[in-house]
Amino acid sequence: MSIITPELLTRFDVPGPRYTSYPTADRFVEAFSESDYLMALDHRQQAARLKAQPLSLYVHIPFCESLCYYCACNKIITKHKDRAESYLRYLAREVELHVAHLGTGHSVSQLHLGGGSPTFLSDDELRGLMAMLRRHFQFVPGGEYSVEVDPRTVDEKRLAVLAELGFNRLSFGVQDFDPAVQKAVHRVQPAQQVFDLVAAARRLGFESVNVDLIYGLPLQTPESFDRTLAQINELRPDRIALYAYAHLPERFKPQRRIHAAELPLPGAKVALLARSMDAFMDAGYVYVGMDHFALPDDALAVAKRQGRLHRNFQGYSTQPDCDLIALGVSAIGRIGAIYSQNAKTMEEYCDALDQGHLPIVRGLALTRDDMLRRAVIMALMCQGHLQFESINVAWLIDFKTYFAHEMQTLEEMQNQGLVELSPTGIQVTAMGWFFVRGVAMVFDRYLQLDRNRTRFSKII
């Protein structure tokens, strides 16, 4: 911890994007419409006549049976299971509207069911959803097909159904094993329940099991979190996603039930991160980047070693940078050089589909500068280094001239040990990984023009 000085914390522990996209979703505009999105779909269909990369699909299932106080996701808290039946009918309409422009049979190499809690759906509803998707898309062998799982809603039989449906990756929401922390965030689940489910997933042959953790929750201390880290290392999932809790009660109403006085102070929060990184790497995990760890033989760690790592709206991915069709309320997608987002409320989402329209309410058409900066930011976020020549050749620029202002800022970061600059490129240092979002922010033109960063979580 001695390498993380108070001065560095003061300077770099500022609000900043997670860069699951660039530009970030807060830059989307309502002037972007369904017609802009349909034009992008038509362009993709024309390109498919030559050769198009496989698609990625994201399906948002917004329902949860109970409220977790830390949650910033778009969700609907309900115990009325019949609400899912209607929602699935609307998802089918949304897919049919896509297929009207794309045609059927497009290859899919990545599917992610997120939420909410996708396991809110019954087994038969999950079967119906997957059958509907398979009627319209061709799922290729060897793809990544993942689903988020609330451990409180499944048993081994339910996991067997997920395997039967073709899912090969599971992500369990754990957050923390400490009973006091679980009670403070209204998510009580015994550790043994998670251990039993992970053992069952291995028996069923899932290729990869991920566990989500959150540091910075109320009542967490470095010592209490050490116990959770030890349990996670004993559990030994293939992947670990370690997220910083972002306390933004003015934006996310459930967080108002969290007592701010119970949150760890900034120094303790950094200690949680540092101890987590040490614990996982000492246990043999590869630090993939920012918030992801993986065992050395997991596909994510392999992609990191081979320079094939990518980042999309779900985080780090092994899949090539490809078009993402996003289905469901609030879902965010990307086709070519455009981003789009669906309506955030169920009423608005369903109303658009009832009228025969896709529920697109905002988005963004990327400029050439956006795409260039995206390439730079993703190289830093995914690989931790960048070669000037590769950017110069790909974008027909002189990097040091185009980014003269940014290079001056990076020189200051070099003096503080966060990056190393050479005549040929930029390298993020081991210490710089603590602040890699801050390094990426240097190239964010929108942040340079807009100093109001309180819309983001802090980068530590």
Helix boundaries (H) for 165-307: 179-184, 191-203, 222-235, 266-282, 299-305
And the tokens for 202?
């291995």
68 is in an annotated binding site: yes
Centroid of chain to Cα 262? 27
Is 287 part of any known ligand binding site? Answer: no
Q: Is 72 annotated as a binding residue?
A: yes
In a 13 Å sphere around the CA of 438, the CA atoms on its Cβ side amount to 27
Residue 203 annotated in ligand binding: no
- Known binding residue 64? Answer is yes
Task: Find, among 270, 265, 180, 185, the residue nearest to 228 by Cα.
Answer: 180
332 marked as part of a ligand binding site: yes
Q: Is 45 helix (H, G, I), strand (E, B) or coil?
A: helix
CA of residue 229 relative to chain centroid, distance: 22
C-alpha span between 127 and 133 (Å, rounded): 10
Q: In 3-state terms, what secondary structure has residue 397?
A: coil
Reduced 3-state DSSP string for 275-329: HHHHHHHHCCCEEEECCEEECCCCHHHHHHHCCCCEEECCEEECCCCCCEEEECC
Cβ atoms 167, 124 nearer than 8 A = no
User: Does residue 212 have a known ligand-binding role?
Assistant: yes
Question: Strands 419-421, 385-387: parallel, antiparallel or unpaired by DSSP?
Answer: unpaired
Question: Using omega within 30 degrees of 0 as the cis cutoff, is the peptide bond preceding 23 cis?
Answer: yes
Could you tell me the sign of the dihedral formed by the alpha carbons of 222, 294, 129, 341, in that order?
Answer: positive
Cα 284 to Cα 47: distance, rounded to the nearest angstrom: 43
Find out whether the peptide bond into 6 is cis, omega within 30 degrees of 0.
Answer: no
Say which residue the tokens 């038509």 belong to: 42
C-alpha distance from residue 312 to each of 25, 78, 345 (Å): 12, 29, 23
Tell me if 70 is assigned to a ligand binding site: yes
**Is 246 assigned to a binding site?**
yes
Q: Is 430 annotated as a binding residue?
A: no
Sign of CA dihedral 265, 66, 124, 106: negative
Is 285 annotated as belonging to a binding site?
A: no
Question: What six digits make up the tokens of 245?
Answer: 């809790």
**Percent helix / strand / coil, the chain, rounded to 5:** 45, 20, 35
Query: Binding site, residues?
Result: 58, 64, 68, 70-72, 115, 148, 175, 187, 212, 246, 332
Query: Binding site for S-adenosyl-L-methionine, residues?
Result: 58, 70-72, 115, 148, 175, 187, 212, 246, 332
Query: Binding site for [4Fe-4S] cluster, residues?
Result: 64, 68, 71
